[in-house]
Amino acid sequence: CSSYYQKLHRQHGVICSMTDGYDCYQNALAERVNGILKTELLLQRPVDLAQARRMVGESVAIYNHERPHLSLQMQTPDAVHRASLAG
């Protein structure tokens, strides 16, 4: 990762975490959320940072509440979490 990229993060108070090399399976959650953003929400460019943030929030909500996951026996993360709280 370039020193300029790291410096830019520090200047803006961003804590950057990176995987070892490029392996999409090391960060599957982020890759999936990015995929939702790219294929469904970025059909038009956000007009400002506030709209971009709303789009990211919507992408995370879709991931957690609407998309069943094969690894969760085709349930959503939210459904699995609520079931674990119920005991």
Which has the higher per-residue pLDDT, 22 or 15?
Answer: 15
Number of domains in the chain: 1
Give residue 82's pLDDT.
Answer: 94
Which has the higher per-residue pLDDT, 17 or 9?
Answer: 9
Biggest alpha carbon–alpha carbon distance for the chain: 48
Give yes or no for residue 87 having a pLDDT over 80. Answer: no
Q: How confident is the model at residue 1 (pLDDT cuts 50, 70, 90)?
A: low
Residue written as token pair 């674990």: 84
Residue 59 counted as domain residue:
yes
Residue 8 counted as domain residue:
no
Q: What are the tokens at 29?
A: 């959650």
Q: Which helix (H) or strand (E) holds 80?
A: helix 77-86
Give residue 73's pLDDT.
Answer: 94
Distance CA(76)–CA(83), nearest Å, equals 11
Residue 58 counted as domain residue:
yes
Q: Do 30 and 63 contact (CB within 8 A), yes or no?
A: no
Residue type, 84: S
Residue 4 counted as domain residue:
no
Residue 1 counted as domain residue:
no
Find the mean pLDDT for residues 41-55. Answer: 86
Range of the domain at 76: 22-86
